[in-house]
């Protein structure tokens, strides 16, 4: 582990409270349908990075043996621990960061990145770690918001990233090209869909990607 990785702290209590409060709004806007698609067909050992307050937990299919849910933010981790108690599969919630996942090389059948590669400080390192812990044919399942392919909207996203957005949204960035980053990190994208989604009436809709990539 490098010094930078040991020093990484994720502590966003303001954002965490808002995110937890938005749970039912996200659900009433239909987000669970995307999350179900994200997790459908999974089995074996799964690692979920930046699990938040555990919005995916109730949706894991019963064929999953165990989920290792890594969450660095203390308030979100507490909420995830509560959510894990009622999950249909065994879920262990642990502290940790994407840049240094607490799992052995090639130990996981699948890895879940849901709305997290926008927030990690170093997406390349996070993807390298996800690749490291996956078995040779393991799947990366992703559900992420990404940069717009419309020039003006992308410019607004970059402007927000350079000014206020990461500070109010727990380190989130709106203008990341996460699909390209996944491929650049040594994954083959097997399936990808792209769609606009807004998790709440006052939040503008942004492009999302949902899909499966395999370690190659």
Does position 115 interact with ligand SAM (CB under 6 A)? The reply is: yes
Which of helix, strand or coil describes residue 209?
A: strand
The contact pattern for ligand SAM, residues 7-26, with x = CB under 6 A and - = no contact, is -x-x--------x-------
User: At which residue do the structure tokens 């179900």 appear?
Assistant: 36
Q: Which of 55, 79, 133, 146 binds ligand SAM (CB under 6 A)?
A: 55
Q: Which of 45, 71, 83, 161 binds ligand SAM (CB under 6 A)?
A: 71
Among positions 135-194, residues that touch ligand SAM (CB under 6 A) are 170-171
Q: How far apart are CA 66 and CA 47, in angstroms?
A: 8
Q: CB of residue 80 vs ligand SAM: minimum separation in angstroms?
A: 8
Host H or E run for residue 210: strand 206-215
Q: How far apart are CA 135 and CA 107, in angstroms?
A: 6
Does position 98 interact with ligand SAM (CB under 6 A)? The reply is: yes
Does position 120 interact with ligand SAM (CB under 6 A)? The reply is: yes
Query: In the structure encoding, which two tokens stand for residue 18, read together?
Result: 């808002």
Phi, psi (5° rounding) for residue 125? -65, -40
192 and 134 in contact (C-beta within 8 Å)?
A: no
Does position 114 interact with ligand SAM (CB under 6 A)? The reply is: yes
Q: CB of residue 110 vs ligand SAM: minimum separation in angstroms?
A: 15
Phi, psi (5° rounding) for residue 204? -65, 150
Residues that bind ligand SAM (rule: CB under 6 A) add up to a total of: 22
Q: What is the dihedral of CA 167, 10, 18, 199, to 10 degrees?
A: 80
Q: Where are the beta strands (DSSP E) in 98-200?
A: 108-114, 134-145, 187-197
Does position 76 interact with ligand SAM (CB under 6 A)? The reply is: yes
Q: Which of 51, 67, 111, 146 binds ligand SAM (CB under 6 A)?
A: 51
Q: How far apart are CA 23 and CA 117, in angstroms?
A: 19
CB atoms within 10 A of CB 90: 12
Does position 50 interact with ligand SAM (CB under 6 A)? The reply is: yes
Does position 211 interact with ligand SAM (CB under 6 A)? The reply is: no
Q: Among the candidate windows 65-73, 132-140, 154-162, 191-199, which touches ligand SAM by CB under 6 A?
A: 65-73
Does position 72 interact with ligand SAM (CB under 6 A)? The reply is: yes
Please, which residue, 125 or 148, has the CB nearer to ligand SAM?
Answer: 125
**Site for ligand SAM, rule CB under 6 A:** 8, 10, 19, 49-52, 55, 71-73, 76, 97-98, 114-116, 119-121, 170-171
């Amino acid at each position: 582990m490098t010094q930078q990785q040991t020093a990484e702290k994720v502590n966003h209590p303001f954002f965490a409270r808002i995110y937890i409060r938005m749970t039912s709004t996200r659900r009433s806007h239909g987000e669970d349908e995307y999350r179900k698609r994200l997790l459908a067909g999974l089995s074996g050992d799964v690692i979920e990075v930046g699990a938040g307050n555990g919005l995916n937990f109730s949706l894991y299919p019963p064929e999953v043996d165990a989920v290792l849910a890594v969450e660095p933010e203390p308030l979100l981790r507490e909420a995830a621990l509560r959510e894990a108690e009622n999950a249909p599969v065994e879920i262990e919630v642990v502290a940790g960061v994407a840049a240094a996942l607490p799992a052995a090389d090639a130990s996981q059948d699948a890895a879940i990145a849901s709305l997290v590669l926008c927030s990690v400080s170093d997406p390349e390192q996070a993807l390298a770690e996800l690749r490291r812990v996956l078995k040779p044919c393991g799947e990366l399942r992703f559900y992420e918001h990404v940069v717009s392919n419309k020039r003006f909207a992308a410019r607004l996203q970059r402007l927000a990233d350079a000014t206020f957005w990461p500070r109010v949204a727990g380190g989130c960035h709106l203008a990341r090209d996460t699909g390209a980053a996944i491929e650049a990190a040594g994954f083959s994208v097997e399936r990808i869909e792209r769609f606009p989604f807004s998790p709440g009436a006052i939040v503008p809709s942004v492009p999302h990607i949902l899909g499966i990539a395999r370690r190659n």
